[in-house]
Amino acid sequence: MVYNNQLSIRKVIFTSFLLLFSFLISAQELNDKISLQITDASLQTAIESLESKTNFRFYFDSKWIASDTIKITKNYQDKTIDEILTDLLDATDLNYFIDNNRVILTKNTSIISDLDKNLIDVPTDKTEKKEAVDFTREPVFLKQYDSIKNTPNSKRIEQVTIGKESKSNSKKLYTLSGFVKNNKTGEGIANLYIKVKNSKRSTETDNSGFYTIDLEPGISILEFESVIFTKSTKKVVLYNDGKLNVSLTENINELDEVVINSKASEKLKSSVTGVTVIEIEKIKTIPLILGERDIFRVAAALPGIKNVGEGASGYSVRGGKEDQNLILLDNGLIYNPAHFFGLFSAVNPFTTKRALVYKGSIPAEFGGRLSSVFDITTKAGNVKKISGEGGIGPVTSNLSLEVPVVKDKSSLIVGGRLTYSDWILKSLDEEQLKNSQASFYDIIAKYSHKINDKNLVETTFYTSKDAFSISTDSVFKYTNRLFTAKWDHKFNEKNNAELIVTNSEYKFNIEYDANNPRSFDFGYKISDTQLQLKLGYLFNDKHKISYGISSKLYGIDPGNLNPKSGESILSPITIARERGIESALYISDNYKISDKLLLDFGLRYSRFSALGASSQRVYQPGVPLNDATVIEVKEYDKNEVIKSYGGFEPRISARYYLMDDLSLKASYDKMYQYIHLLSSNTTQSPTDTWKLSDLNVKPQEAQQFSFGIFKNFSNSDLELSVEGYYKKSKNFLDYKVAAQILLNENIETELLQGDGKAYGIEFLLKKSAGKLNGWIGYTYSRTFIKLDSQFNEEKVNNGEYFPANFDKPHDVSLVLNYKFTQRYSISSNFVYQTGRPITYPIGTYEFGGAEYTLYSDRNKFRIPDYYRLDIGVNVEGTHKLKKLAHSFWNFSIYNVLGRNNPYSIFFVTDGGQIKAYKTSIFAMPVPTVTYNFKF
């Protein structure tokens, strides 16, 4: 018995000695210095090298690092195992735990050997009953959402773990970022709403589909909401800053019901006033002329935007001229966005994704125009499979094709459109046009390549050409050309950048060949090249900062006329080329002051310099500009600065929630415009020319104040908005009586610059869902110009304010769509506008033995009011998933009432009397049948 006890004591002593020896050896190995060279190796190879150099053995799941493609190059000299592992695993979501000579790797979580006493609630009162601590149970923050997954009939929520647990993780908020894409096409989903369940935190994706949000450590339930896509919910366990990319599937059955709802909510919560989002897919049911989907025509049916006349390409936005609208296609400028006398948009509807129209508060990144920005984005092609869309109409045919180049990474979308339109000219109520011919085409191609999660490259090429002949001896041609390249780069979760290069060109040509000495060839061209750098910085949940720099080089060939024969009585004329450079810096901050108050303030500084080579007249100060007041002619060398202009352009807007569904907005904007459109017509035409500011032509300036009330009625899917604005402008451009615009070397002698003012109120009531949906809009607006001088030749209407050519006080639009079933619907479109101003002859007088016509004050009278009713019937194809193509038929009648709306009024002297005549573009109902297909 004693022997056995002694033997047991010896075993205990021996075992304790071995344990102590093992601990000493292990401690010694932990402190051993290791030297290790790793060159261009994977993480797994690096771990294997470390294992071979030491007595440590590693235990982990190979799947955790099998997909790791990052190559490691390190040189460790006299480092401990702890130091090496800490550095190697720093950029991964792996932790490690050392147990003697075993190294155990864990994903995200960590193993704790010594419990912190603060983790255990130890009673201080010895008499208090102690509860056993169960260290195997889930932490409280992991159990708080158990009720969600255990709820009957609930879908299983995918759990994602981001980052890794660490004692050094002491931040209250971590940043989660990622990319949300369309599962079908691989294209980023813009303006997608992302909210945290049971929290006030939320965000949304940017225009490219990227998002960033600050979250508390632990578990968050993220809901990715879109009415176009199936809702996705993720349970995110967050330990550090990290990424979460999400792929969503289109929800086709809900498409027609929810898109406007989403935009209505966005309109309510955004701080930007006067912004409209137009999704091209959603406008296919609106009856438009000849069945063509047209972003600009739909925009003109909204309050505050007016077309200057039927068959005209220009638009007046909140009292601005046609040239005061910045029209961008994938960041590139389009100078003439119209085909076929302004009846069709030059932007292909089947390759267009959407348009953002800013008419109130214009973001600081945009500049160079006073009234509005049409920011149009082309679709990214399908990266999964070949798909396309097409349409056949009475005047045009259209086809777009999307082709994946590298599956899930890159794609190409190509679209083309052409016309066979001569038949419609013969049906117009204008004898001269009946003998005319017209044709056009446009081609667009966009290539997108996602290099990796941080880099995306996109390029767009666009070209269009119009040719028309109003008479047998003249041919008019005009073309647009555009190239853009963009590189999106994401530095980290908080910083991103876009580098953009664009080149645009517009030119027109007039060929007059009557087989006589007056035949000629006339040409005009304008082009620009721009470089932009846009950057974004997410400071925190309250501050989203954007900033950037841009520079644009203009080149204008104002016109050249060449005789077509050697016997011509005409002399060749070439107007000297104009050049200028426009640059800008900007910074803006979207500042969430509280849940109720959101502020967006920005500052832009722009500067323009007119460049030589050039000859510039210098006139006597304080007198009219004419040949008699020239005091000298200055010569400027190539790239020499002729004159510089510039200034600060503050932009500020705010939104305040009165209630969850009622908000107030206000904004102030200042803008400069350094380029001017010169037109001899009352409406914009393809032969209008552009003029840069220089020594004698000043840039235009404008300041706009806006205020709005926005209300959503959630129970009835109604959206109500009322917005008002007041705009003041300087150096507003107009013309002297009988001004000569084309081929004038001294155009400044024909121009007048004065003050302008515009004000208005806009009302919009929109119903976004249900069998009956659509909107009613009403605008009351006025635009006035003041051209005052001490000299009569520069004074108009005695120097008093008078209505501008595009002043139309009342504008009513009604767009309705009634769905009988998912496949059949009927649509209507009604428009009413006050007639635009006109100057009438009111009598005659004699002077020096000759008789002259006496005209009224400028724009004192108005042409008859305009109104039109259109009706369309829409038939969708069946919604079977497995079919060759999805079809859509549109049967519409444009101008159902046959209203003879005047396009222009002109006067002729007949038998000693002055008679007025009016011309109309469509004086009869125009029926249209259009077939569209999508595959």
Residue 422 CB partners (closer than 8 Å, separation 6+): 437, 438, 439
Q: pLDDT exceeding 70 applies to what percent of the chain?
A: 81
| Virtual torsion, Cα 584, 589, 590, 594, nearest 10 deg | -160
Residue pLDDT, tens place only, 665-679: 999 999 999 999 998
**pLDDT value of residue 854:** 80
Best-predicted range by mean pLDDT (75-84, 299-308, 514-523, 704-713) = 704-713
Instruction: Judge whether 373 and 361 are in contact, CB under 8 Å.
Output: no
Read off the pLDDT band of 776 (50, 70, 90). Answer: very high
Q: Which pTM value belongs to this model?
A: 0.77
Exposed / middle / buried, residue 125 (Cβ in 10 Å: 0-12, 13-18, 19+): exposed
- pLDDT for residue 753 is more than 90: yes
Polymer length of the chain = 935
Q: pLDDT exceeding 90 applies to what percent of the chain?
A: 33
Q: How far apart are CA 728 and CA 758, in angstroms?
A: 7
- 604-637 burial code (b ≥16 CB/10 A, e <16): bbbbbbbbbebebbebeeeebbeeeeeeeeeebe
| Virtual torsion, Cα 711, 716, 717, 720, nearest 10 deg | -30
Residue pLDDT, tens place only, 395-431: 788 899 999 999 888 999 999 998 876 666 666 555 6
**pLDDT value of residue 549:** 97
Mean pLDDT within 186-202? 79
- pLDDT for residue 203 is more than 60: yes
Read off the pLDDT band of 433 (50, 70, 90). Answer: low
Q: Up-side HSE of residue 157: CA atoms within 13 Å toward CB?
A: 23
**pLDDT value of residue 428:** 59
**pLDDT value of residue 565:** 77
Residue 290 CB partners (closer than 8 Å, separation 6+): 343, 344, 393, 394, 395, 396, 424, 894, 926, 928
Mean pLDDT within 543-571? 89
Q: How far apart are CA 878 and CA 870, in angstroms?
A: 26
Q: How far apart are CA 710 and CA 272, in angstroms?
A: 12
Annotate 252-291 with DSSP letters as a single string: GGGHHHHHHHHHHHHHHH-S-SSEEEEEGGGGTTS--GGG
Cα distances from 81 to residues 42, 70, 95, 708, 785, in angstroms, run: 18, 22, 14, 64, 80
Which pair of tokens denotes residue 263?
């935009």
- 88-97 burial code (b ≥16 CB/10 A, e <16): bbeebbbbbe
Q: How far apart are CA 614 and CA 635, in angstroms?
A: 6
Mean pLDDT within 776-802? 93
- How high does pLDDT run on average in the chain? 81
Which pair of tokens denotes residue 790?
């001490």
**pLDDT value of residue 131:** 38
Exposed / middle / buried, residue 855 (Cβ in 10 Å: 0-12, 13-18, 19+): middle
Read off the pLDDT band of 148 (50, 70, 90). Answer: very low
Q: How far apart are CA 11 and CA 173, in angstroms?
A: 54
- pLDDT for residue 619 is more than 50: yes
Best-predicted range by mean pLDDT (113-122, 198-207, 825-834) = 825-834
Cα distances from 552 to residues 378, 577, 674, in angstroms, run: 22, 17, 12
Between 667 and 906, the higher pLDDT residue: 667
Read off the pLDDT band of 599 (50, 70, 90). Answer: very high
Between 173 and 784, the higher pLDDT residue: 784
- pLDDT for residue 783 is more than 90: yes
Q: How far apart are CA 62 and CA 165, in angstroms?
A: 20
Between 349 and 1, the higher pLDDT residue: 349
In one-letter notation, the amino acid at residue 163 is G
Read off the pLDDT band of 289 (50, 70, 90). Answer: low
Residue pLDDT, tens place only, 678-693: 986 665 677 789 999 9
